[in-house]
Structure 1
Amino acid sequence: MMLSRRHILAAAGGGLAAPLVSRDAAAQATRWQMATPYPDGNFQTRNVKAFVDDIQAAAGGRLTVQLHTGASLLPMPQIKRGVQTGQVQMGEILLAAYSNEDVFFDADSIPQLVTNYAEAKKLADLQRPYVEQRLARQGMSLLYMVPWPPAGLYAQQPITTLEGLRGLRFRTFSPATNRFAAIVGAQPTLVQQAELAQAFATGVVQAQITSAATGVDTAAWDYARVFTPLGFSMTKNAVMVSRRAMEALPGNLQQEIRSLAAKAEQRGYEMSAETWRNTEATLGQRGMQVIPPTEEFLAGLRRVSAQMTEEWVGRAGEDGKKLIEAYRA
């Protein structure tokens, strides 16, 4: 079939125009997915949302980030692997939940090693290079870390000594909480946050140690009667990014994201402290007994802390010894 000159030019024009449109679209269409296991109202999630909004504002249309909250895309145990394999470009995890992979992920889980925000920041800053090195080996970069409020004990009745935990089905969420349960003679039971209410309601667990923030998120007053603020530990969430995804962005945008991550970390500490004050009050307002720990309980915790610190250094080796010595200096 003969084609007219007009048809040939039109076809040629279409062929030339397509790559230009495609390149332009690609430049505008960088899209990331981010997964977090925590619900929308949680302060960690609210901080992540602000971080994502800041990134998109700084990107000026070059990058969009779709945030999936409440384990709706990936459950906690799969998020780190999701970032590592490129299934998602960013993710938020409880660092201690992954300490089976590396002992440095749960230094903050040792009971009473960290009891306030100044101590939490000191340990986090010392821990950061070790965490960064380990994530870098897996193709990821650490963006920021934010501690949870100090953890306390949830139970159905007041528990005044560590011996009161013996035999109870005790909710764990990390190797450190599992080890603590074993030391005090409780029955360790792994339960993710999203399953807490059902686990207590069905008797799968009878006690747990976690923050007041998690208690409010899971409506703890529906399944536990007593909260004892122990200052047990202040574990951290870590927000990480795929290095490949990050390095594909323009250099100035990469720098801006890291600057915004530092801002998110500072904001996260402030939100955590505010959440600590508000959520402990909320537990009491919703009918839970908030009972200070006895000196006997705290003395028992200090003994467990000394044992678990020694065990942690034994697993972590020379670097672990350096970290603890620097922290205590």
Structure 2
Amino acid sequence: MLKTTSAILIAGLMSGTSFAAKWHMPTPYGDGNLQTQIAYSFVKEVKENTEGALDITVHSGGSLVKHTEIPRSIKTGQVQIGEVFLGILGNESPVFKHDNIPFLATSFDDAKKLWKAAKPEIAKHLDKNGMMLLYTVAWPAQSLYSKQAVNSLADLEGQKMRAYSPTQSRLADLMHTTPMTIQTPDIPQAFSTGIIQAMITSPSTGVDSQAWDYVNYYTDVKAWIPKNVVVVNKRAFRRLDKATQQIVLDAAKHAEAAGWTQIAARAAKDKATLVEQGMTVSDPSPQLLKELQAIGQTMAEEWKAEAPKEVGSILTRYHQELGQ
């Protein structure tokens, strides 16, 4: 359930406006984030091509609705559209965990193939909950931030590890660390107050949260490539006329293409920024990589066991895409 303050704010924003003409789009990340910038481009294209008939306002950085509340707010129609990190939906269905499984897809090419394999199941589950998928934008590969050099998992044992999804919590357990659920805006405070000592996340999140202020090392393990999804309330979408619906779908297609094109360049830029700010950036030691890959295999097996039919179909399609 949305907190009272968020519900009141949303009601105020929606009052006196046409439901189909004025939409509100909460997003979890700040304006400097590529995913948010893609969202702004998306809504600009929609507004221009509908000549203002559909005007979508982006509320970035969790300013309207907190990240974990965005899916429910879209499902219930309290907002019409929103962006969410796909992995946080993992408790609703195992299919939402596909891009959080370590070492299942670690390159952008493989991540695209995994998304193609998983998309039918994702769309099916969103549809059951009154939502429709519009587009997705990948993150850079997720790597390890720590206060000290990490050459093996023993160097992290007992530490508190940030977790941003159910799958990451399981990963922290298998790494013999303690998972702590911390959303992106709260990362600096969590480190400064000792709530967490390490995290696995993207170079972009590291730059956004100025990781160099509280950690010294970035070990580029490239464990997985997660995604954000932008989804719309189905009833809100159906209220649009056919021409406007097509404009929204076309803008979504362009947004997804732009995101996949731009993410690799952003990843390289943000990793360079970590170096410029004095962080030690290095590849993982053979031992650390071997240990993490073994955990990835365990998590892949556990993931398939959660829903053998659905997950099995994703993996079958993925291996077909890989030519295996």
Settle same-fold status: TM greater than 0.5: yes
Deviations 1:136-175 (A, max 9, x none): 1111100011110001100001101122221011110111
Counterparts of 1:70 and 1:239, CA distance in 2: 15
The aligned runs of 1:1-329 (5 Å cut-off) are: 30-328=21-319, 329=324
Q: Helix, strand or coil for the counterpart of 2:307? A: helix
Q: Helix, strand or coil for the counterpart of 1:141? A: strand
Is 1:42–1:213's contact at 8 Å kept on the other side of the alignment? Answer: yes
**Aligned CA distance change for structure 1 residues 45 and 316 (closer, same or farther; 3 Å):** same
What are structure 2's unaligned runs of at least 5 residues? 1-15
TM-fit CA distance, 1:315: 0.4
Deviations 1:228-271 (A, max 9, x none): 11111111100000111111111011012111111100100122
TM-fit CA distance, 1:26: 7.9
Counterparts of 1:38 and 1:71, CA distance in 2: 7
Counterparts of 1:271 and 1:196, CA distance in 2: 25
Is 2:95–2:310's contact at 8 Å kept on the other side of the alignment? Answer: no
Q: Helix, strand or coil for the counterpart of 2:40? A: helix
Counterparts of 1:316 and 1:60, CA distance in 2: 45
What TM-score, normalized to structure 1? 0.90
Is 1:158–1:291's contact at 8 Å kept on the other side of the alignment? Answer: no
Counterparts of 1:215 and 1:312, CA distance in 2: 28
Q: Helix, strand or coil for the counterpart of 2:301? A: helix
Counterparts of 2:185 and 2:110, CA distance in 1: 29
**Aligned CA distance change for structure 1 residues 119 and 62 (closer, same or farther; 3 Å):** same
**Aligned CA distance change for structure 1 residues 214 and 169 (closer, same or farther; 3 Å):** same
Corresponding residue of 1:22: none
Deviations 1:184-214 (A, max 9, x none): 2101111111100000001000000000000
Counterparts of 2:111 and 2:19, CA distance in 1: 40
- Runs of 4+ residues over 4 Å off in structure 1: 25-29
Aligned length: 305
- Which AA in structure 2 matches 1:177? Q
- Which AA in structure 1 matches 2:157? R
Is 2:207–2:274's contact at 8 Å kept on the other side of the alignment? Answer: yes
Counterparts of 2:134 and 2:261, CA distance in 1: 17
What TM-score, normalized to structure 2? 0.92
TM-fit CA distance, 1:321: 1.2
What are structure 1's unaligned runs of at least 5 residues? 1-24
Q: Helix, strand or coil for the counterpart of 2:111? A: helix
Q: Helix, strand or coil for the counterpart of 1:111? A: coil
